[in-house]
Structure 1
Amino acid sequence: MAIAPLSAHQLRKTCDPSQFDFETTAELEPLNDILGQERAVKAILFGIGIRREGYNLFALGPSGTGKRTTIGQFLDRKAAAEPTPADWCYVNNFDQPHKPHALRLPPGQGVVLRKDMEQLVEELRTAIPAAFESDDYRTRRQEAEEEFKERQEKAFTELQEEAREKNVALIRTPVGLAFAPLKDGEVISPDDFQKLPEETRKQFEQDINELQERLQSIIFQVRQWEREARKKVKELDRQVAMFAVGHQIDELREKYASLPEVVEYLDAVQKDVIENVDEFRKPEEQPQVMGLPMPRPLKGPPLLRRYQVNVLVDHSETEGAPVVYEDHPTYNNLIGRIEHIAQMGALLTDFNLIKPGALHRANGGYLILDARQLLLQPYAWDALKRALRSREIRLESLAQALSLVSTVSLEPESIPLDVKVVLIGERLLYYLLHLYDPDFSELFKVEADFNGRMARTPENNLLYARMIGTLARNEGLLPFDRQAVARVIERSARLADDSEKLSAHLLSVVDLLREADYWATTSGHKTVTADDVQQAIEAQIHRADRVRGLVQEEIRRGTIMIDTTGERVGQINGLSVIALGNFAFGQPNRITARVRLGKGEVVNIEREVELSGPIHSKGVLILAHFLTARYAPNYPLSLSASLAFEQSYGGVEGDSASVAELCALLSALADVPLKQSLAVTGSVNQHGEVQPIGGVNEKIEGF
């Protein structure tokens, strides 16, 4: 069977510019749809539309295919039509300060409540001292104090008169009150007391003992009167504080009557203000250390901080549901953190130092994360799964959870979580998570698989032209003429490694458009031409092909031995592809085969020295069994053969050298020379059929 050689047009499928009915892309309508990603688009629409637990999305596909851009566009449209979620604030828990309360407020009301509380505190700092400095308060307090003094003085006066009637004096000593006998109005000295008749002494002692008991009773009664007086003063203070505070907080109660949680918080504030009313009466002092004022951030939390409102999430300027992209998804950046203030060698904190995470900001909307970055951060993946499973955001210090520090910390009230999470990553990452993490399939039930290629049809060519025009318009580039568009499409097919496909790797296309625009601008063109696109392609290749140039130089100098003329037995030119970064190039390799009598073994020298990859070793085993089945089906094949990649000092992988190795082996067996002007590539199966392989463009150019 004669094999017809391929013609030039069969080697490269060109794009005919005449199929386009425009002169430049400036005439084309913008392309708002996502090109070549119908499957992924349907998955995204389904994923963001279904509101069920566990239906989060994982966008998988090669990087540069526009996963983030596509998802962002759909989420922005969807979120704009959805209601704006609630604000979230943390306020003080006056009963248990280490467990702050979370308040849910309508959008924009968090900042309003914070300002109202700030204004309330300022007004109370003025109103409370003024109320306690009023004449009415002073009069009522003075009355309570005077009543106590009068009762005290009356009791002691009566005691003194009773003692005087019994010729006993009540005197004050350094250790307290005491009684002493009197004679002629003078206190009797101890010596004179002993000279008194025994009956008189006994009477004095009896009277003094009775008076002493009476004194103890009066002192006990005075203490009760003092407590009653303090209680009256405290009740008076409470009434005055209630008068000063009540109408201020009543206004806020009326304002937030539709929010029971806020009303309950205001009740707690009123109760705490009344209990700590003395703090509002003290002048504010600047803390000092060794005579120097402390910086304000190091003061520690003052008492009045307890009435502040920490607005964790503010949606006062948000329209629709939030769409949040967290480019650095650490544990703290995801679930929030509790900050501390260093003061005198100690770490202090309060509810005002609670900071939000991406989950807080995206609550009620959508959160986009890079899967690889998320998995690289310690404990971030576990924290995200825990939040999605429990459907709440629980703030916990990572250092405290791991027992790395033992400082005073907080246990904030958990916040209910309603968020749709979208992870973006490579296909391999998705499959590995699906295989090794049992929680993954329960939490991310929707996969949006982005294709790296699309069909090359006349309809898609026109859509590709519109996409080029849209990208050029968005990037502020010069318009592309139809010849330039055709050259970009040809380059796209080359990037797709298939003449019937176009590349969906938008990043590569955008880079080419930018560089073509640069060369067109440098040349003074008003539109980008095919020559500008070609110059951009050649510049890209030139920047990356240093190693290819060195390899070709070594071949020309004979350092790498490649024959391109004559014929040789058991020797053939194979073709390999070397990929370095974003650039791949083909390289010819000399493959040789040697045979002799033996036990039917084909020795792969690369495998023997552990330079052969598993796929290459598989290819050699397949061709060995093909030889056995074809030429010795009924008895052992009495040969021993060896195959080698000459001057190969690195690993060999892939099965595309199978046909070349088979040709070299058959040439050595039959002693038939092979033309060295030819290079061979392709894999072979056990039936001897040649199979397609990749990298054809690079291999042809490499030879």
Structure 2
Amino acid sequence: MAVDPIPVDLLYRACDLTQFTFDTTAELEELPGLIGQERVLDALKFGTGIKRYGYNLFVLGPDGAGKHEAVTRFLGTVAARQKAPSDWAYVNNFQAPNKPIVLEIAAGSARALKEGMGRLVEELKATVPSVLESEEYQNRRQSIDEEYRERQERSFEALREKAEGEGIALLRTPAGFALAPVHRGDGQEGEVLKPEEFNKLPEAERKRVEMTIQGLQKELADILEHIPGWEKEHRGRVQKLNSEVAEKLVEQAMRDVRARFDTMPAVRDWLATVAADLIENIAIFATPGDQQQQQAMLAMQAMVQGQTVPFGALNPLRRYEVNVVVENNDLKRRPGSSPWQAEPVVDAGGYIGGGAPIVYEDHPTLQNLVGRVEHIPQMGALITDFMLIRSGSLHRANGGYLLIDALKILREPLAWDALKRALHRRKVVIESPGEFLSLVSTVSLEPDPVPLDLKVILLGDRYLYYVLSNADPEFGELFKVAADFDDEFDREPENDILYARLLAGLARKEELLPLDKSAVGRVIERASRLAEDAEKITTAVRPIADLLHEADFLARRYEATRISAKHIDEAVDAQIARADRMRERSLEMITRDIVMIDTEGSVIGQVNGLSVLSMGSVSFGRPSRITARVRMGMGGSRVLDIEREVELGGPIHSKGVLILSGYLSATFLPEIPFSMSASLVFEQSYGGVDGDSASSAELYALISALAEVPIEQGLAVTGSVNQLGEAQAIGGVNDKIEGFFDICMRRGLTGDQGVLIPAANVKHLMLRQDVVDAVERGMFAIYPVERIEEGVELLMGKPAGARGPDGKFTPGSVFALAEARLAAFAENQRRFAMRPADSNGKK
């Protein structure tokens, strides 16, 4: 059952550079799609193609896999073929100013409406004063005014003449009109009698005058009673004149804007209300400065009195403006993202266009999603109007695609529920956090909701997807399409070439030096190491991009014109060195014998186990001494896991220890009850231990303690084991091997050192070059183990033994010695149980 070391050519799979026909990646075309992600592409095609409620997407996969970039590139090709959605604008509601109206406007037309209304107001500000001051208007207005005055004067003149015939004068005083007697035929003709003079008149004359004045007062009252009616008629005629003038002016001023939007019913109806309001309030254009100042003063007085005043009251012309909240003349895509858009059109705002919008909401708060209504402090009050409505990302992505990081939106208060409400309602309702939580009592606006038709694409890891699926019943209803990114893809010649094109595109996008074929090969090898599989390449783009950035920096520092393998190697070494403090500290503690790890000699019941420590983005292998002690038990088989007893062992580690008991029970003394007590411990381990990758090492320690056969300390072990004694694959095999190699290297390689790994892990080997070199020189060895028996023979230098026809293990073998000791434990337990008790009942 001898196990040969793994050949050198299986320790590191180098990339075959002869398959590359290019000199540098500058010669390669950019990769248009994804490598090895056919499942994701099918899900994206299905999710974006189906137009049914709830078929939004959740893109799940590991961090750094380039999910956002890949989805954006895919959506770019889809969105470019779609029609640009409508523009949206808020305008004044002349009947209810606190409920602004939302207008759906053909794509690219909202700005024309806004500019048209601006020109309309400016034109009326110029034309209305000139028309109202024109000779024609003034003549017509003067005619109406003169008719009104003449009507009053004729009435008062007739009354005056009648009064004078009776010796009564009609007087106009500050308090109104008055009637008084006058002198007649006494040299003071027409002068008003003084009270004392009136009292000297004969009584009959006084009574006549009083009766005459009473009659004239009735006629005067009748005239005064008709004056409001005449004034109303006068105002009506003036209003009619102004309306006739206003209708002509407004019709002429609005001709162009009405013609431009005549095919849009909603805009056409709103323009009709604008025209009516302009005609009714044409006077605000007559003397704009005075009129607006007067209205602003009245509004401020109302605010001081605590009344709710819209912001537009301070500027009456503001109500004719248009608040464009979404404009889709060009595809809304912020500068700096990937150049995936076909035939992009750059507008003055720096956006790139050509179809349906693709919006990534980097900060998905409630207001950033559904929009907000802003307020302006004025005279101690918060005021607002429709021009202070701001759109959210749901508005801007309407008719297209909205990308959101799932974890970010879940971290924001109220945002997740707001998104679900919008998707359920299929409309966007602007909500204020303060009003939602009843924290703000300020009267605000109630804007019309915007109908919603878009695809929301959440991006997150798998754990978050499964948590939401289980914890939120609405999640499955709203996000029915999962696009699951693979962590890796097959390392095959055709995929190597595709990966080279991926690197070419990455270098162009990041403005890096081109990579030569040696650099491409080294990056592929590094991607296999990150995938922990020589037959796979990781899909994680972020660490590869970081590596290229650093290699580019080094190449430029050396004034190179291309990135080569030596730059990649130096960048990798630099990455490791920058984060190497904890690994160096661990190695130092072992080499100084502060942490006790033997790399020479042999010890009973002691083995070197291997584990991986992960700290942030850095992982390294760390050997641990595992010891086992056995003794006779009180009946049955009990393996005491000290790590579990002190709550330092996780459930998976505890499961591995229990599997050991199952293996021992099935392997030794199948017909005799066990009587063994054993303890297992990771020496000098002060942190948590989880995982079952040390279960095979623990089993070797137990067998060594039972058989009292020493284990070679120059060998370390990793791998889990099942109850059948088969070695099972584990993770982090490269780090574990290198961790033990570093200890042996610092103490000096003897040629007898090595590591035992499960045979299933051979395909995962992508070891450092110094390890490969040491193996090639015969100074270090890596053994593939399929069964526990193979490991026993390697570690203990004796045959493990096999049970023969007589039911016994091979004499002198490790298993025979272990079983013999177990049998001795059982016999001693039987004798102890049969010993008579003393007078106190004790045996």
Q: Same fold (TM over 0.5)?
A: yes
Residue in 2 that maps onto 1:222: 227
Structure 1 contact 349–408 (Cα < 8 Å) conserved:
no
Listed as ranges, the matches of 1:13-52 within 5 Å are 13-52=13-52
SS at match of 1:161: helix
Q: CA deviation at 1:459?
A: 2.6
Q: Does 2:581 correspond to 1:576?
A: no
Listed as ranges, the matches of 1:92-103 within 5 Å are 92-103=92-103
Residue in 2 that maps onto 1:360: 395
**Counterpart selection for 2:682 from 645, 667, 682:** 645
442-451 or 31-40: which moved more? 31-40
Structure 2 distance, partners of 1:155, 1:96, is 45
SS at match of 1:639: strand
Structure 1 contact 25–466 (Cα < 8 Å) conserved:
yes
Structure 2 contact 372–431 (Cα < 8 Å) conserved:
yes
Structure 2 distance, partners of 1:495, 1:547, is 20
SS at match of 1:700: helix
Q: CA deviation at 1:649?
A: 1.1
SS at match of 1:236: helix
Structure 2 distance, partners of 1:482, 1:272, is 73
**Counterpart selection for 1:692 from 729, 732, 753:** 729
Q: Taking structure 1 as reference, are residues 659 and 120 closer, same or farther at Cα in structure 2, changes over 3 Å only?
A: same
Residue in 2 that maps onto 1:264: 269
Q: Taking structure 1 as reference, are residues 259 and 466 closer, same or farther at Cα in structure 2, changes over 3 Å only?
A: closer
SS at match of 1:284: helix
Q: CA deviation at 1:647?
A: 0.6
526-535 or 684-693: which moved more? 526-535
Letter in 1 for 2:58: F
Q: Taking structure 1 as reference, are residues 464 and 256 closer, same or farther at Cα in structure 2, changes over 3 Å only?
A: closer
Q: Taking structure 1 as reference, are residues 154 and 44 closer, same or farther at Cα in structure 2, changes over 3 Å only?
A: same
Residue in 2 that maps onto 1:310: 323
Normalized against structure 1, the TM-score is what? 0.93
Residue in 1 that maps onto 2:653: 616
Structure 2 distance, partners of 1:696, 1:252, is 73
Structure 2 distance, partners of 1:196, 1:633, is 154
Structure 1 distance, partners of 2:224, 2:564, is 109
Q: Does 2:711 correspond to 1:674?
A: yes
Q: Does 2:249 correspond to 1:247?
A: no
Q: CA deviation at 1:446?
A: 1.2
Letter in 1 for 2:262: A
Q: Taking structure 1 as reference, are residues 469 and 264 closer, same or farther at Cα in structure 2, changes over 3 Å only?
A: closer
Q: Taking structure 1 as reference, are residues 631 and 221 closer, same or farther at Cα in structure 2, changes over 3 Å only?
A: same
Residue in 1 that maps onto 2:720: 683
Q: CA deviation at 1:497?
A: 0.7
Listed as ranges, the matches of 1:461-610 within 5 Å are 461-599=496-634, 600-610=637-647
Q: Taking structure 1 as reference, are residues 524 and 228 closer, same or farther at Cα in structure 2, changes over 3 Å only?
A: closer
Letter in 2 for 1:230: R
Residue in 1 that maps onto 2:699: 662
Structure 1 contact 301–350 (Cα < 8 Å) conserved:
no
Q: Does 2:18 correspond to 1:5?
A: no
Structure 1 contact 300–348 (Cα < 8 Å) conserved:
no
Q: CA deviation at 1:21?
A: 4.4
Structure 1 distance, partners of 2:21, 2:173, is 119
Structure 2 distance, partners of 1:26, 1:193, is 121
Q: Taking structure 1 as reference, are residues 218 and 634 closer, same or farther at Cα in structure 2, changes over 3 Å only?
A: farther
Q: CA deviation at 1:662?
A: 1.6
Cα deviation 1:283-324 (Å, max 9, x = unaligned)? 42697999xxxxxxx997411111111122223343222222
Structure 1 distance, partners of 2:608, 2:313, is 79
Structure 2 distance, partners of 1:81, 1:144, is 64
Residue in 2 that maps onto 1:386: 421
Q: CA deviation at 1:474?
A: 4.1
Structure 2 contact 312–319 (Cα < 8 Å) conserved:
no
Structure 1 contact 575–699 (Cα < 8 Å) conserved:
yes
Q: CA deviation at 1:20?
A: 3.9
Q: CA deviation at 1:246?
A: 2.2
Gaps of 5+ in 2: 185-189, 298-310, 331-352, 741-843
Structure 2 distance, partners of 1:469, 1:230, is 80
Cα deviation 1:231-290 (Å, max 9, x = unaligned)? 212222222222222222234323322222222222111111121122111242697999
- RMSD of the TM alignment (CA)? 2.6
Structure 2 contact 513–561 (Cα < 8 Å) conserved:
yes
**Counterpart selection for 1:415 from 433, 450, 453:** 450
Structure 2 contact 312–385 (Cα < 8 Å) conserved:
no
Letter in 1 for 2:236: K
Structure 1 contact 25–479 (Cα < 8 Å) conserved:
yes
Letter in 2 for 1:322: P
Q: Taking structure 1 as reference, are residues 366 and 301 closer, same or farther at Cα in structure 2, changes over 3 Å only?
A: farther
Q: CA deviation at 1:145?
A: 1.9
Structure 2 distance, partners of 1:582, 1:690, is 29
Listed as ranges, the matches of 1:311-460 within 5 Å are 311-317=324-330, 318-460=353-495
Q: CA deviation at 1:531?
A: 2.9
Q: Taking structure 1 as reference, are residues 523 and 118 closer, same or farther at Cα in structure 2, changes over 3 Å only?
A: closer
Letter in 2 for 1:312: V
Structure 2 distance, partners of 1:195, 1:475, is 116
Cα deviation 1:188-232 (Å, max 9, x = unaligned)? 555565565655554444333332222221210122212211221
SS at match of 2:289: coil
Letter in 2 for 1:548: R
Structure 2 distance, partners of 1:107, 1:614, is 59
SS at match of 1:590: strand
Q: Taking structure 1 as reference, are residues 301 and 418 closer, same or farther at Cα in structure 2, changes over 3 Å only?
A: farther
Q: Taking structure 1 as reference, are residues 127 and 29 closer, same or farther at Cα in structure 2, changes over 3 Å only?
A: closer
Structure 1 contact 299–343 (Cα < 8 Å) conserved:
no
Structure 1 contact 590–645 (Cα < 8 Å) conserved:
yes
Q: CA deviation at 1:658?
A: 1.1
Structure 2 distance, partners of 1:145, 1:459, is 94
Residue in 2 that maps onto 1:293: none
Normalized against structure 2, the TM-score is what? 0.78
Q: Does 2:150 correspond to 1:150?
A: yes
**Counterpart selection for 1:207 from 212, 217, 236:** 212
157-166 or 641-650: which moved more? 157-166
Q: CA deviation at 1:618?
A: 1.9
Cα deviation 1:360-390 (Å, max 9, x = unaligned)? 2222222222222222222222222222222
Structure 1 contact 301–349 (Cα < 8 Å) conserved:
no
545-554 or 22-31: which moved more? 22-31
Structure 1 distance, partners of 2:504, 2:126, is 66
Letter in 2 for 1:311: V
Structure 2 contact 84–329 (Cα < 8 Å) conserved:
no
Q: Taking structure 1 as reference, are residues 446 and 554 closer, same or farther at Cα in structure 2, changes over 3 Å only?
A: same
Q: CA deviation at 1:123?
A: 1.0
Q: CA deviation at 1:68?
A: 1.3
Q: Taking structure 1 as reference, are residues 263 and 529 closer, same or farther at Cα in structure 2, changes over 3 Å only?
A: closer
Q: Taking structure 1 as reference, are residues 637 and 219 closer, same or farther at Cα in structure 2, changes over 3 Å only?
A: same
SS at match of 1:320: coil
Structure 2 distance, partners of 1:168, 1:469, is 111
Q: CA deviation at 1:465?
A: 3.1
Structure 2 distance, partners of 1:575, 1:597, is 29
Gaps of 5+ in 1: 291-297
Structure 2 distance, partners of 1:287, 1:218, is 37
Q: Does 2:170 correspond to 1:170?
A: yes
Q: Does 2:77 correspond to 1:77?
A: yes
Letter in 2 for 1:73: R
Q: Taking structure 1 as reference, are residues 163 and 455 closer, same or farther at Cα in structure 2, changes over 3 Å only?
A: same
SS at match of 1:342: strand
Q: CA deviation at 1:687?
A: 3.1
